[in-house]
Amino acid sequence: MSGHLLSSIVFLPVLGALVILFIKDARAIRWVALVTLAVDFALAIPLMRGFDVSTHGMQFVERHEWIPSWNITYYLGVDGISVLFVFLTAFLGIICVLASWKAIEKKVKEFMIALLIMQAAMLGVFSALDMFLFYLFWEAMLIPMYLIIGVWGGPNRVYSAIKFFLYTLAGSILMLVGMIALYFAAGKTFDMLVLMEHKYTFTFQIWVFMAFFVAFAVKVPMFPFHTWLPDAHVEAPTAGSIILAGVLLKMGTYGFLRFCLTMFPDASRFFSTPIVVISIVAIIYGAFLALAQKDLKKLIAYSSISHMGFITMGIFLFNKNGIEGAILQMFNHGITTSALFLCIGLIYERTHTRHIGDYGWAASRVPVYATFLFIFTLASLGFPGTNGFIGEILIAFGAYEVYKPYLILLLIGIVGGAAYMLYMYKSMAFGADSHGHGGHGHGGSHDDSHGHKVWDVDFREAIALIALVVFVFWVGFHPEDFLGYMHESVGNLINQANTSKFEGLGL
């Protein structure tokens, strides 16, 4: 069992999808999907518990011959960085099914199959140690995600789906060329650990870095590659938004950590200042754009761009605080933003509007919902005691070590973040009910200003929200439980990133 733990985690969702293929009843399909992902998450727990935090080496390694003539192996393993994201992905899978329980009514079977296959591909990306396998999972994600946005999305879904698809495909296809160049440069191997050890010339590093950078920057998305994100988020169903914000965006920053810093350290250092600068641009620009939005999903989408700016900045600071903060913030953003999209999805199911001006009654009519929303709002803006605070403060420490004026710019971003999140919360919970409508309570449910029936959080929704809240405070009050996983791996990563790969042009 333990010998194939990672494979089981990665491929269990595929098994679930196969089972669903033969089920007709929508209710049964939902339950099978939920149970599959719950078991998958349960398998991730022994992965976390059995993980040895005292080493940076790859653990739970599985390796089998696959395509011997190209020296491609089926090679899985996790280190202190990727294990967190395997866990996060497995956890968010359950939230996705819960979020789609009622929201998805047509083609439930196809939706759950797409969701499960997506889940498998994402888990595969985080655990692949063979670059070919990595790319296979990476591109395989496009198909189910494209369908999730395009089939179950909002009114403008078709345009958004194709934009998402082409953007990410165009970005990553160049990475493929870079990967093959690496393969030959390092003596015909796709083994990522070997590729990390190999020395490359500076010019080679620069070119391949750029090929990889575009792929990852589109996924993150970094300014100015971000334009697909708001469209995709607005049109995607709630589960799609959760996957996008929670996991997909992390793939880009994970790519930076896994490939760019370790394989092309010299190129990464060469480009570090420009990348930090465009990260800061993303932080501030994203915050201002978020401030101007009237659509809830768009607001959170732009806030994601701002938050991801913190993460890319932390990564390219090249110090322990910056990188640990970035990784923790990747985890946090996965939790918090997913929670916010879930909240928006829940209220949208009731009112069928995402316009901020249509709300303003949340605190009085759906108090439990408003409380959850409040917690996630605070987490998102980085309030002390929540997970967001720990991540942002670590990145700020890292920035301080590198160049103090960065802090002032970061501050603008943080204040901006507080401004748009509080503005959103105020408008949703305490804003004037512009229609002057008086709701009559009957049976715990109310009508909103358009006559839709509005009820507070039900049991299924509460489970999902509480699970997310647990992580908000767990990371907020006891970050060491999570940081502990990454210390060794990050130490090793910084070591690799600061070692010049070629002679002559050292630090």
Partner 1 sequence: MSGPDVATFFSPGDFLAILPEMVIAGMACVILMVDLVVPRTKRWVVPALSVLSVAAAAWFSWNLAGSGVSAFSGMFVLDGYAAFFKLIFYIVAVFAVFVSIRYIKTEEIDLGEYYVLMLFSLSGMMIMASGSDLLTIYLGLELASLPVYALVGFLQKSRKSNEAAMKYVILGAFSSAILLYGISLIYGLTGTTQLAAISAALETGAVSGPLFTLAVIMLVAGFGFKVAGFPFHMWAPDAYEGAPTPITAFMAAGPKAAAFAVIMRVFLEGLFPAYDNWQMAIAAVAVGSMVVGNITAIMQTSIKRMLAFSSVGHAGYALLGLVAGSEEGIASVMFYLLVYAFMNLGIFGIIIMMRRDSQSGDQISHYAGLAKSNRLTALAMLVFLFSLAGIPPTAGFVAKFYVFMALIHKGMIGLAVVAALMSAVAAYYYIRIVMLMYMREPEKEFLLASSRGILCVLIIALAAVVALGVYPLTYKPRPARRSAVGQERNEMERWYP
Candidates 42, 50, 63, 70; binder of partner 1 (CB under 8 A) is 70
* 462: contact with partner 1 by CB under 8 A: no
Return the number of other C-beta atoms located less than 10 Å from residue 124's C-beta.
26
Q: How far apart are CA 372 and CA 370, in angstroms?
A: 5
Candidates 46, 62, 103, 139; binder of partner 1 (CB under 8 A) is 139
Interaction residues for partner 1, span 170-229 (CB under 8 A): 170, 173-174, 176-177, 180-181, 183-184
Q: 454 has which bridge partners?
A: 446
* 477: contact with partner 1 by CB under 8 A: no
Residue 321 tokens, joined? 């605080």
Stretch that binds partner 1, among 53-61, 151-159, 259-267, 367-375 (CB under 8 A): 151-159
| Residue number, 139 or 295, with CB nearest to partner 1 | 139
Tell me the three state secondary structure of residue 214.
helix
Say if residues 108 and 29 touch (Cβ distance below 8 Å).
Answer: yes
| Residue number, 200 or 471, with CB nearest to partner 1 | 200
Helix (H) or strand (E) holding 398: helix 387-402
Say if residues 200 and 267 touch (Cβ distance below 8 Å).
Answer: no
CB of 262 to partner 1, least distance (A): 21
Candidates 146, 302, 361, 425; binder of partner 1 (CB under 8 A) is 146
CB of 225 to partner 1, least distance (A): 14
170-195 burial: b if 16+ Cβ within 10 Å, else e: ebbebbbebbeebbebbeebbbbbeb
CB of 210 to partner 1, least distance (A): 11
Contacts of 273 (CB under 8 A, 6+ apart): none
Question: How many residues are there in the chain?
Answer: 507
CB of 139 to partner 1, least distance (A): 5
Q: What is the DSSP code (8-state) at residue 254?
A: H
* 393: contact with partner 1 by CB under 8 A: no
| Residue number, 71 or 353, with CB nearest to partner 1 | 71
Stretch that binds partner 1, among 141-149, 193-201, 352-360, 418-426 (CB under 8 A): 141-149
Identity of the residue numbered 19 = V
Candidates 18, 42, 45, 67; binder of partner 1 (CB under 8 A) is 67
CB of 137 to partner 1, least distance (A): 8
Stretch that binds partner 1, among 23-31, 135-143, 329-337, 416-424 (CB under 8 A): 135-143
* 463: contact with partner 1 by CB under 8 A: no
Q: How far apart are CA 125 and CA 20, in angstroms?
A: 23
* 38: contact with partner 1 by CB under 8 A: no
Location of structure tokens 């369908």: 147
Widest CA span of the chain, in angstroms? 78
Q: Which of 128, 259, 134 is nearest to 200 (CA)?
A: 259
| Residue number, 190 or 389, with CB nearest to partner 1 | 190
| Residue number, 147 or 395, with CB nearest to partner 1 | 147
* 80: contact with partner 1 by CB under 8 A: no
Interaction residues for partner 1, span 152-181 (CB under 8 A): 157-158, 161-162, 165-166, 169-170, 173-174, 176-177, 180-181
Return the number of other C-beta atoms located less than 10 Å from residue 75's C-beta.
23
Q: How far apart are CA 162 and CA 147, in angstroms?
A: 10
| Residue number, 65 or 503, with CB nearest to partner 1 | 65
Location of structure tokens 């650990």: 193
| Residue number, 140 or 467, with CB nearest to partner 1 | 140
| Residue number, 68 or 504, with CB nearest to partner 1 | 68
Binding positions for partner 1, rule: CB under 8 A: 66-70, 135-136, 139-140, 142-143, 146-147, 150-151, 157-158, 161-162, 165-166, 169-170, 173-174, 176-177, 180-181, 183-184
